Amino acid sequence: MGAPSLDALTKQYFDPTTVSIQDQTDKTFTSWFDGDLNAIARLSGAPKQSTITVSYWKGIGFELVATGPFIRGDMVRRILQHEHNTQPPLFIQNVVFELPVQLQRRKIGVRSLAIELHEAKRIGQFAHVAVSAAGNASTLNPEDPSDYLNGYLVWPLLGFDGPIPAHKLPEFHPHHRVSQVLTSPGGALAWARKGDYCQLQFDLAAGSSSWIVLNRYLRDNHIEVTP
């Protein structure tokens, strides 16, 4: 059998060759990638026809801000360095990415994330991708996109994990991590009802539980982002 091909929606909305890069770091950033602009586009997860502006962020990292016809507002990624001597030395912080309303609920955002994660793994200098998983049961309002935050539910389904917020620990005792809740009997429903805003990470190490969860999700939803 031949190698898998990109699925139709990935082909339709993602093409790194159509993404423009504007480097405001005197080419420090693009030189790090040996001028491979397609790699930068994939690392951001930006949809086709986007423009990515790269700048220094607070003197401690880089910020990638993407705009384009398939992005609502700004798409923001930051590349930062661990405070301690950690290997790999870098991590990515996914700050924000919203799709236009007409493109939501089609798993285009999942494809963007998967492209980013695969590229980060390929580069080999990133330990994890971090997110702030917003929302709780009170913000599950799918009919009102302006008041619909479900990150606390969605990110764990894509392989992100982290500690249960301290104020919620008594409700989920004896568990300490979101993944422990979700894999316990009735845990998914309990987290949907009582879970809350939390900080989560995707472990980029080969064979990590993050990859196991993500690959299962992609397979079950017939998503293929790597040619």
Poorest-pLDDT segment among 82-96, 141-155, 169-183, 196-210: 141-155
Tell me what the pLDDT averaged over the chain comes to. Answer: 93
5 band by pLDDT with thresholds 50, 70 and 90 = confident
pLDDT at 61 over 50: yes
pLDDT at 82: 86
pLDDT at 203 over 50: yes
83 band by pLDDT with thresholds 50, 70 and 90 = confident
pLDDT at 96 over 60: yes
pLDDT per position as a tens digit, 26-49: 999 999 999 999 999 999 999 999
Q: What is the C-alpha to C-alpha distance for residues 41 and 52, in angstroms, rounded to an integer?
A: 8
Q: What is the mean pLDDT of residues 191-209?
A: 96
20 band by pLDDT with thresholds 50, 70 and 90 = very high
pLDDT per position as a tens digit, 137-170: 888 876 666 566 889 999 999 999 999 999 999 9
Q: Is the pTM above the cut of 0.85?
A: yes
pLDDT at 1 over 70: no
